[in-house]
Amino acid sequence: MVIIIYDSYLHNPMYFFLWNLSILDLCISSVVVPKMLFDFLSTSRTISIAGCFSQIFFFHFFGSTEAVLVSVMSYDRYMAIGNPLRYVSIMTPKVCLHLALTTWAIGFFHSLLHTVMTSKLLFCGHNLVEHFFCDIRPVLNLSCTDITLNLKLLTLVTGNLVLATFLLTLLSYILIIKCLIKIKTTEGRKHAFSTCSAHLTVVLLQYGSVIFSYGRSSSGASLDQDRAAGVIIAAFIPTLNPIIYTLRNKDLKRAFKKMTK
β-bridge partners, 174: none
Contacts of 28 (CB under 8 A, 6+ apart): 59, 62, 63, 66, 233, 234, 238
| Domain CATH for 110 | 1.20.1070.10
pLDDT over 80 at 230, yes or no: no
The reported pLDDT for the residue numbered 219 is 45
pLDDT over 90 at 218, yes or no: no
pTM, two decimal places? 0.86
For 174-208, write each residue's pLDDT tens digit.
888 888 787 777 776 666 666 666 667 777 777 77
pLDDT over 80 at 223, yes or no: no
Q: Taking residues 123-132, report their average pLDDT.
A: 83
For 86-101, write each residue's pLDDT tens digit.
898 999 999 999 999 9
For 46-62, write each residue's pLDDT tens digit.
888 899 999 999 999 99
Q: What does the alpha-carbon distance between residue 179 and residue 193 come to, in Å, rounded to a whole number?
A: 10
pLDDT over 70 at 260, yes or no: yes
Overall domain count for the chain:
1
Q: Is the model more confident about 114 or about 80?
A: 114
Q: By C-alpha distance, which of 60, 57, 58 is closest to 30?
A: 58
Burial of 23-44, coded b for 16+ CB within 10 Å and e otherwise, reads ebbebbbebbbebbeeeeeeee
Q: What does the alpha-carbon distance between residue 156 and residue 4 come to, in Å, rounded to a whole number?
A: 37
Q: What does the alpha-carbon distance between residue 24 and residue 62 come to, in Å, rounded to a whole number?
A: 6
Q: What does the alpha-carbon distance between residue 104 and residue 100 come to, in Å, rounded to a whole number?
A: 6
Number of helices (H) and strands (E) in the chain: give both, helices first.
12, 0
Sign for the CA dihedral angle at 244, 188, 6, 77 comes to negative
The reported pLDDT for the residue numbered 102 is 96
AA letter at 83: N
Q: Taking residues 251-257, report their average pLDDT.
A: 83
Q: Taking residues 112-119, report their average pLDDT.
A: 94
Q: What does the alpha-carbon distance between residue 80 and residue 88 come to, in Å, rounded to a whole number?
A: 9
If residue 34 lies in a helix (H) or strand (E), which one and from where to where? helix 13-41
Which residue range is the domain that position 13 belongs to?
2-259
For 129-168, write each residue's pLDDT tens digit.
888 888 888 898 888 888 999 988 888 888 888 889 888 9
| 211, 163 contact by CB (below 8 A) | yes
The reported pLDDT for the residue numbered 98 is 96
If residue 94 lies in a helix (H) or strand (E), which one and from where to where? helix 93-119
The reported pLDDT for the residue numbered 110 is 95
User: Torsions phi, psi of 142, nearest 5?
Assistant: -90, -10
pLDDT over 60 at 220, yes or no: no
The reported pLDDT for the residue numbered 228 is 74
The reported pLDDT for the residue numbered 215 is 54
For residue 19, name the pLDDT band (cuts at 50, 70, 90): very high
| 229, 133 contact by CB (below 8 A) | no
